[in-house]
Amino acid sequence: MVFKNLSNTKIETFKNFNEEEAKKQYYLGGSLHIENLFYSPSKKLIVFKATYNCGKLCGQSYICILKQKLNVWYLDKVKVVAIS
């Protein structure tokens, strides 16, 4: 997975998005929390906790590692640390 800046994404990418059709096919609910960001001294590695909550008793937590190579950030590792 490569993280890119959405401000560089052309508007044409979103023109064919049909919100009503998406509501029929996907459940778009829940929340994503990113916290406890730690940077390496070289600023080329980030470790953080990501938590997805899909309801009162539903969710998952992950420890994630991002690495920077040639000015692009890559998701290097993801470890599940909690499931409910």
Are residues 18 and 4 in contact, defined by beta-carbon separation less than 8 angstroms?
A: no
Q: Which two tokens stand for residue 39?
A: 């940077």
Q: Is 84 exposed, middle or buried (0-12, 13-18, 19+ CB in 10 A)?
A: exposed
- Rounded Cα gap, residues 56 and 29, in angstroms: 12
Three-state secondary-structure class, residue 12: helix
69 pLDDT exceeds 70?
yes
- Rounded to whole angstroms, how far apart are CA atoms 15 and 34? 29
Tokens of 26: 């996907």
- pLDDT, one tens digit per residue, over 15-36 is 566 666 666 665 557 888 999 9
What does the pLDDT look like over 35-66, one tens digit per residue?
Answer: 999 999 998 999 999 998 887 788 899 999 99
